[in-house]
Each structure stands twice: as structure tokens, then as C-alpha cells.
Chain A
């Protein structure tokens, strides 16, 4: 098992395959914690209201139940949700985070309990100062509870296979009429730029219209600068259509 500081944790399986977890930054974790604090606040408030109703029968027992419920919610919230939702609390769900075993194995109940009980130290002296310093210093962004429990907090991964057809539809592609230029484009395309193009295509509907036109213009110019296809290949294609055609070429499409 190897790791890169504060970015990802890579695990190599006995079969020789590597997979990695993208580590959550302390800032994202803080935001998730704020959501959880709000959720705990709502739950304890609701419990307090319910106990007020009980107070009509016995004030003593109502106070006792309120004290125990407050304690149980503040200690048990993280344990119950992380166990029930496989490593997620409400805050982690909202922020797209998940607690996972640091060796990639199944998260155990003992790990969930331990990391949540050690929160008591991580929260010292106030607002997670100890935990925050520990996670800034730790190679895998682990607070003390995570170190003791052997867990990390990772970003959620996509659980769905990407739709390649949506990105680069398998229809007639004018660029493939020039196979030698297509082969040259495949060999020259920079992986990072292609990755940006994939993201641009998959998120196209989220962009402002003018920003989208500008983005695809720049991408089209970049790909044209690598290999200049004849005018006939580009005829009638918008910049976005050109980028999609390029992706189809790069992903191994055949002449239509």
C-alpha cells in the first residue's frame, strides 16, 4: 500500500491491481461536520420538545430522559449513521464523503465506534483543534480517531458507468475519413486536455451559453493546433461538434 500526501490513498490488491481513494480535505470535512452539528441540534431540540410533553406527568423523569437523549444523540449520531449508511452521516452524504477502511477492506462496527468515541479528544480544546492539526499533519488527512480506528474519509466515487454514447455518439464522423490524421491525433493528444474535453462535454448543460461557446472554441483550437484536418472534414461542424468528433477519434471509433 502506498500513499500520496493529502490527495489520494492507493491500494494494491494481491492480484496486482491498484485502486485509489481520493482523500477528503479538512475543509470539506469541516463543512460536513457543520451539517452534522445542525442535524444533531435539530434532533436534540426535537427530543427536548418531546420530553417537555412528558414533563406534564413527571418533571424529574422528563429531565432524566432529556439528559440521556442529549447524550445518546451527541455520542450515537455518528456511530448509528456511519454504521447504517456504510460510512456516511448526513453531512458526509451532502458533501459526497464516506468513511472507508484504510486498507480498503470492509468497514467494521468497532472501527466506526472507535473513531466516533475518539472524537472527544479530536474536539479538544474547542472546534476540533486537535483533530484539525492531526489531519493537517497526517499523510492521509486522518484525525486521531481515524488513525486509531484505521479509517480514512474519502470522496464518494461515481457508482455508474459513464455514458460514452452521450459523450461521443457512434454516428458518422467526418474526421475518420482521414485515418492517418486520426491516428496522428490519437498519438499527440495530451491526456489532461482530453480529460478536460470529456468533462466539458459531460457537463455542457451546466455552463452559461457564452462560457460554453468560449470553452469549446478554445478546446477546438487546441485540437486543431495538434493536427490540421482538411477543410472538408470540418465543414458544417460547430466547435462543440468538432470536440465531440475528436473524442470519438481518441476513444477508438471507426469510420462510419
Chain B
């Protein structure tokens, strides 16, 4: 036994209490700018408590005090050695962080687009080879009937079939699509395999639906139906896929010798920015799908719907490609 514990505690407790109070203040206001003297004092207290903890290592029989000092030193360590900015939400910078994060990882987005297009091609091929595959590729009751029949029904409808359920339909679309987007990100943890399967499957359905309507001579209806919400919804899900591939890339670390934990730390903020941005886009897409996309000619002319969808696509492309450039 090297130290007289009660005397040690009595002598040092004043410094522990001072450090505890300083940390509590910092934790309550993480963005507060500290004067130089205060920083120097904090550093001194941290070093003093660290030294106390080292001295206590020789006194293995006192677990409580060691736990207390470890707690104090770890709190001070997390404040002093943290180099990332405090994570306070600033809406303006959060809005700019989204397109910036998107542009930083364009390769992952291109991959998500390529996988989806590959799925589309597969959907087209499968339907082209045997139209009976429709039942397997598009297991949704609304898509089973021939496109021309559906178009005729929609265009001759005299009643609003979504009357009284538009808002709840929009809410279901928003939450479902947001869940798919989050899943596309989360499946990145399977080294990207899950994200790849999800995007490919989405592509297959999209490709099969497009083939079915185009071959059935209903290309304009398809564009008028899908573009108003799809020009936002599809990119949003692709953004989820992009986030999934970024996560997978950080996990695999091709050609990157930095430790995995450092790679993941480097992309964490970008992943959150991209998925949050995609979530906001899906709120818009869900609203448009329920309130605009389901109304066809003569209620809303196809030309207007297509122009609206293309405008959205241009605005989204401008936002992601140019906003926040430095």
C-alpha cells in the first residue's frame, strides 16, 4: 500500500469537484467558447485527475473510488480529445449538408442507379420472354389487369375513388417509402449485398411495370402517372441505396488502410445527411402521389402532369448538383 487513502481523498477531492463542475457546465453548453484561462485550468484538472487515477492503480483494493475517477477522467477525455464539432442541429447547414454529402459519394449513387437499371432491364427481359411472368414480377392486384383496361377505367371515372382517404393514403406512402429507404441504408451493413438485392428488386418491378404499359401502348399514361411523384420518390430510394453502398464501402475499405472504425466514423455524418434528406423528399413524394398522381386526364391533363414531374426532376438535380457548392 503506497498511499494513505483518506488523506489522498481529502487532498484531491477539491480538484475532482472542480473538474466535475467544469464538465457539467460544458456538457450543458457544448458550444460555449471557453476563455484561454478556463481551457488551461480544465486541462490542468484533467491531467491532475488522470494522475490521481494512475496513483490509484497501485491501490487495487478500492474499487469505488477508481470507478468514480474513471468516470471523471473519461468525461474529461471525451471533451478534451474530441475534434468533431458538437452535434447541434442547425437547419440551414443541415440542408446544405445533404447535397454536399451526395456529391462527395457520387460513385455510390452511380452504383445504386446502375443496379436499379439492371433490375429494370431484367424486369423488361422477363416480361418480354413470357408475359405470364407479370403475376410473379408485379404481385399487386392493381397492376394485374391489362394496362388499356385500367387506363379506360381511370379516364372514365366519374367519382373520386380517394375521396376521404387521401391524407391517410399519403401518410402510408410516406412511412412505407421512408422505411424502404432506411432499409436500403441499413442493409449496407451486410457489406452492401442486402442493399444491392433491394435496389435490384425495386428495379425489376419498375422495369416490368414500364414494359407492360409501354408495350400496351399506354406510355403517356405511365409517364403522367409515375413522373409527378416518381421523379422524387425513385431518386430518394436511390439515395437510400447510395447511403447503403457508402456504409458497405466503409466496412469493406477497399484500398484504404485506415482502421474500420475510423472509416465508419468518417462517413457517419454523410449517411445521416443523405437519409434525412431522402426522408424529406419522400414526404413531398407521398403528398404528390396521393393528391396529384392518382388523378388522370381529363381531371389533370397528362401534359401538365409530365411537365410537373420533369420540373421537379430539374429542381432536384439542381439542388443536389449545385446547392452548397464552395
Q: How far is the CB of A72 from chain B (nearest CB, A)?
A: 9
Q: How far is the CB of A190 from chain B (nearest CB, A)?
A: 9
User: Which of A103, A108, A164, A189 is in CB contact (< 8 Å) with B6?
Assistant: A164
- Whether A189 pairs with B190 at a CB distance below 8 angstroms is no
- Whether B186 pairs with A117 at a CB distance below 8 angstroms is yes
Which residues in window 39-95 of A have CB below 8 A to B? 58-61, 63-65, 67-68, 70-71, 75, 83, 86
User: Which of A71, A117, A162, A168 is in CB contact (< 8 Å) with B275?
Assistant: A117
Which chain B residue has the least Cβ–Cβ distance from A17? Answer: B50
Residues on B facing A (Cβ under 8 Å): 1, 3-7, 9, 13, 16, 27, 30, 47, 50-51, 53-54, 60-65, 67-68, 70-71, 73-74, 77-79, 81-82, 84, 86-87, 89, 164-168, 170-172, 174-175, 178-179, 182-183, 185-190, 194, 247, 251, 261, 264-265, 268-269, 271-272, 275-276
Beyond A71-B175, A157-B67, whether A118 also contacts B73 by CB under 8 A is no
| A187–B268 alpha-carbon span in the complex (Å) | 51
- Whether B189 pairs with A121 at a CB distance below 8 angstroms is yes
A245 lies within 8 A of chain B by Cβ: no
Beyond A109-B89, A198-B61, A198-B62, whether A150 also contacts B261 by CB under 8 A is yes
Q: How far is the CB of B128 from chain A (nearest CB, A)?
A: 34
- Whether B1 pairs with A114 at a CB distance below 8 angstroms is no
| A16–B57 alpha-carbon span in the complex (Å) | 12
A224 lies within 8 A of chain B by Cβ: no
Contact residues in A for B65 (Cβ distance below 8 Å)? 161-162, 164
- Whether A60 pairs with B164 at a CB distance below 8 angstroms is yes
User: Which of A15, A117, A118, A189 is in CB contact (< 8 Å) with B61?
Assistant: A189
- Whether A121 pairs with B194 at a CB distance below 8 angstroms is yes
| A64–B104 alpha-carbon span in the complex (Å) | 36
| A17–B86 alpha-carbon span in the complex (Å) | 25
Contact residues in B for A15 (Cβ distance below 8 Å)? 47, 50
User: Which of A16, A70, A106, A118 is in CB contact (< 8 Å) with B84?
Assistant: A106
Beyond A101-B78, A117-B275, whether A20 also contacts B70 by CB under 8 A is yes
Beyond A104-B77, A148-B247, A170-B6, whether A63 also contacts B186 by CB under 8 A is no
Across the A-B interface, how many residue pairs have beta carbons closer than 8 Å?
180
Q: How far is the CB of A157 from chain B (nearest CB, A)?
A: 4
| A119–B183 alpha-carbon span in the complex (Å) | 10
- Whether B61 pairs with A60 at a CB distance below 8 angstroms is no
- Whether A110 pairs with B261 at a CB distance below 8 angstroms is no
A212 lies within 8 A of chain B by Cβ: no
Q: Which of B67, B84, B174, B187 has the most CB of A within 10 A?
A: B67
| A13–B46 alpha-carbon span in the complex (Å) | 11
Residues on A facing B (Cβ under 8 Å): 11, 13-17, 19-21, 58-61, 63-65, 67-68, 70-71, 75, 83, 86, 101-106, 108-111, 113-114, 117-121, 144-145, 147-150, 157-162, 164-165, 168, 170, 186-187, 189, 191, 194-195, 198-199, 202, 250-254
| A104–B174 alpha-carbon span in the complex (Å) | 37
Q: How far is the CB of B143 from chain A (nearest CB, A)?
A: 23
Beyond A60-B164, A68-B171, whether A106 also contacts B268 by CB under 8 A is no
- Whether B9 pairs with A121 at a CB distance below 8 angstroms is no
- Whether B27 pairs with A64 at a CB distance below 8 angstroms is no
Q: How far is the CB of A77 from chain B (nearest CB, A)?
A: 15
User: Which of B4, B78, B89, B167 is in CB contact (< 8 Å) with A104?
Assistant: B78
Which chain B residue has the least Cβ–Cβ distance from A134? Answer: B189
Q: How far is the CB of B223 from chain A (nearest CB, A)?
A: 28
Which chain B residue has the least Cβ–Cβ distance from A13? Answer: B77
Q: How far is the CB of A66 from chain B (nearest CB, A)?
A: 8
- Whether A110 pairs with B87 at a CB distance below 8 angstroms is yes
Beyond A164-B6, A164-B9, whether A159 also contacts B71 by CB under 8 A is yes
Q: How far is the CB of A250 from chain B (nearest CB, A)?
A: 6
- Whether B64 pairs with A162 at a CB distance below 8 angstroms is yes
- Whether B6 pairs with A250 at a CB distance below 8 angstroms is no
| A187–B1 alpha-carbon span in the complex (Å) | 7
Closest 5 CB pairs of A and B: A109-B87, A252-B4, A162-B64, A64-B167, A64-B171
Q: How far is the CB of B46 from chain A (nearest CB, A)?
A: 8
Which chain B residue has the least Cβ–Cβ distance from A193? Answer: B61
- Whether B175 pairs with A250 at a CB distance below 8 angstroms is no
- Whether A61 pairs with B73 at a CB distance below 8 angstroms is no
Q: Can you pick out 12 interface pairs between chain A and chain B where the beta carbons lie within 8 Å of each other? A: A14-B81, A17-B53, A102-B261, A105-B77, A105-B82, A106-B84, A108-B268, A114-B271, A148-B251, A150-B265, A164-B6, A191-B60
